């Protein structure tokens, strides 16, 4: 066996042992693979990783415990691991033009918590975007540490559903927050990071930009970068970076400024905040997968995909508006479109469930001024990360919008949660979705040809040899 086949053998053995030794789990994993390959996924918060990223995420670094950082570990046996983590750090810095990168955060949530819990003391004030306006739970919601341990003040949108920078300014002057958080989870427009920094400088606050949703657009230069405007930039790696589940924390030109309370330099606040303050040993296979994903973001193909993401979202927004829907902010500058469905008499939850019954996956989402709870909502959020990856361009968006409209205009809500949908509608939409999935398959997902309905999920037989073609 040679170097290039030995890992392939290892991976194959893993699949074979799983198939024969645990058919129940194999069956469930196959079922999920099959579901993904056969539904039209328009979830703004997800993407599809390349198989090379997937393999890194399940590779041998998982066997290593390596508390600490490259060159400064608390465990032996880390020489190779150090090189892998350094590669991920270097690629993150290059991709974002950052001076400092920490690749160990297990998620964007942890990344945000590291920054806020190291800079603020319980009870200190932070200013973040409200959930209803498109902010994230970790930006001050009472449901999370950010809103329970800190005095979280929320800002929102103005009449045109854009971020109300005047209000951010007034609230900052009034409450003198120690930290201002910008970056969103359901806001379809460009964010003015420079403006946030100006406001923060006036009141002596730090700024955290959470670019979880738009990291790829920033790398590709399709959205202004916050790196040198804000003090801390966080992101997950599993949305627009098309990487493994995990987080990154980066810093630009302020990285070596003195930290508050004599805590050394600003980047040391993060370095010690991830380990040992918040986490123990890093997830090294995930770091290898981050390195792989970050190694692909500076390619022309990645940039083209990012352009397609924006073109698709703009086309989708246009289609919905032409069909009479209220699209939040009247369009999109990024990868997502938020559609008000309550004006058409259905809740976000009913829309989400009816669409999923037809093999179309979107998320229910709150909209500005929403009267419904986060479990019901008045809108849906549609994203184009996965559509663009499959090669679907703006010319395919009328077809996607029309499918969604057919479901939404056929569904008969019984209350906020339940509904009726004719079988004939379900059958015909599912058949069209199946055709689309065949025409635009997920790259590298061999198409099984079975319909989702016919899938029986029976495993445990000897594995068939895979044809080498």
CB of 133 to ligand PLP, least distance (A): 12
Task: State the residues that interact with ligand PLP by CB under 6 A.
Answer: 45, 107-109, 136, 138, 183-185, 210, 212-213, 236, 247
Place of tokens 């692909």: 296
How many CB atoms are located within 10 Å of the residue 199 CB?
23
In whole angstroms, the minimum distance from the beta carbon of 186 to ligand PLP comes to 8
User: To the nearest whole angstrom, how small is the minimum distance from the Cβ of residue 334 to ligand PLP?
Assistant: 12
Alpha carbon distance 273, 107 (integer Å):
14
d(CA 136, CA 443): 31
Distance, in Å, from the CA atom of 119 to the CA atom of 99, rounded to the nearest integer, reads: 20
Measured CA to CA in angstroms, residue 335 lies from 38, 338, 385, 391 at distances of 22, 10, 7, 15
Which of 236/388 has CB closer to ligand PLP? 236
To ligand PLP, the closest distance from the beta carbon of 242 in angstroms equals 14
State which residue, 136 or 305, has the beta carbon closest to ligand PLP. 136
Q: Which is nearer to ligand PLP, 161 or 396 (CB)?
A: 161
Least distance in angstroms from the C-beta of 92 to ligand PLP: 15
| DSSP characters over 31-88 | HHHHHHHHSEE--TT-----HHHHHHHTSGGGG----EETTEESSSS-HHHHHHHHHH
Cα 39–339–108 angle (5° rounding)?
Answer: 70
Token pair 């008000």 is found at: 340
Take residue 77 and report the two structure tokens written for it. Answer: 């046996």
Q: To the nearest whole angstrom, how small is the minimum distance from the Cβ of residue 136 to ligand PLP? A: 4
Distance CA 138, CA 449 (A): 41
Nearer to ligand PLP, 243 or 315 (CB): 243
Q: In DSSP terms, which residues pair with 159 in a beta bridge?
A: none
In the complex with ligand PLP, the residue whose CB is nearer, 93 or 381, is 381
Q: How far is the CB of 132 from ligand PLP (least distance, A)?
A: 14
Contact yes or no for 305/389 (Cβ under 8 A): yes
Nearest residue (CB) to ligand PLP, 213 versus 314: 213
Q: Which is nearer to ligand PLP, 138 or 384 (CB)?
A: 138
Residue number with CB closer to ligand PLP (54 or 203): 54
Helix axes 397-410 and 300-322, enclosed angle (nearest 10): 40
Q: How far is the CB of 127 from ligand PLP (least distance, A)?
A: 16
Do 241 and 76 touch, CB atoms closer than 8 A?
Answer: no
């Amino acid at each position: 066996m040679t170097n290039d086949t030995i890992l392939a053998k290892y991976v194959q053995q893993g699949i074979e042992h799983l198939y024969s030794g645990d058919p129940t789990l194999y069956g469930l994993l196959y079922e999920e693979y099959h579901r993904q390959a056969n539904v039209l996924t328009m979830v703004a918060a997800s993407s599809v990783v390349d198989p090379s990223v997937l393999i890194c995420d399940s590779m041998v670094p998982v066997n290593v415990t390596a508390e600490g950082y490259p060159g400064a570990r608390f465990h032996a046996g880390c020489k190779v691991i150090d090189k892998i983590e350094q590669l991920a750090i270097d690629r993150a810095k290059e991709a974002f033009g950052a001076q400092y990168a920490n690749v160990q955060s297990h998620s964007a949530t942890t990344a945000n918590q590291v920054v806020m819990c190291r800079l603020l003391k319980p009870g200190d004030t932070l200013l973040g975007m409200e959930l209803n306006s498109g902010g994230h739970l970790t930006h001050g919601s009472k449901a999370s540490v950010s809103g329970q341990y800190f005095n979280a003040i929320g800002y929102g949108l103005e009449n045109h559903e854009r971020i109300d920078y005047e209000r951010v300014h007034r609230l900052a002057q009034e409450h003198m927050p120690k930290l201002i958080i910008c970056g969103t989870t359901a806001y379809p427009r460009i964010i003015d990071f420079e403006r946030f920094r100006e406001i923060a400088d006036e009141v002596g606050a730090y700024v955290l930009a959470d670019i979880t949703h738009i990291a790829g657009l920033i790398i590709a230069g399709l959205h202004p970068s916050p790196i040198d405007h804000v003090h801390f930039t966080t992101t997950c790696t599993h949305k627009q970076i098309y990487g493994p589940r995990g987080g990154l924390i980066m810093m630009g030109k302020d990285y070596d400024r003195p930290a508050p309370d004599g805590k050394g330099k600003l980047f040391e606040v993060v370095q010690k905040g991830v380990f040992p303050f918040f986490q123990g040993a890093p997830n090294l296979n995930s770091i290898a997968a981050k390195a792989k994903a970050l190694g692909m973001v500076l390619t022309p193909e990645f940039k083209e995909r990012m352009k397609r993401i924006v073109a698709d979202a703009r086309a989708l927004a246009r289609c919905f508006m032409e069909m009479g829907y209220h699209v939040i902010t009247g369009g999109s500058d990024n990868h997502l479109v938020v559609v008000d469905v309550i004006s058409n008499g259905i809740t976000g939850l009913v829309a989400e469930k009816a669409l999923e019954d037809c093999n179309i996956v979107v998320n229910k989402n709150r909209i500005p001024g929403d009267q419904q709870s986060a479990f019901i909502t008045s809108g849906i959020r549609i994203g184009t990360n996965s559509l663009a990856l499959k090669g679907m361009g703006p010319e395919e968006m009328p077809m996607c919008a029309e499918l969604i409209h057919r479901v939404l205009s056929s569904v008969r809500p019984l209350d906020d949660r339940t509904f009726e949908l004719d079988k004939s509608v379900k059958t015909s939409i599912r058949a069209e979705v199946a055709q689309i999935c065949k025409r635009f398959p997920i790259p590298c997902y061999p198409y099984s040809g079975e319909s989702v309905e016919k899938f029986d999920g029976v495993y445990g037989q000897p594995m068939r040899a895979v044809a080498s073609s």
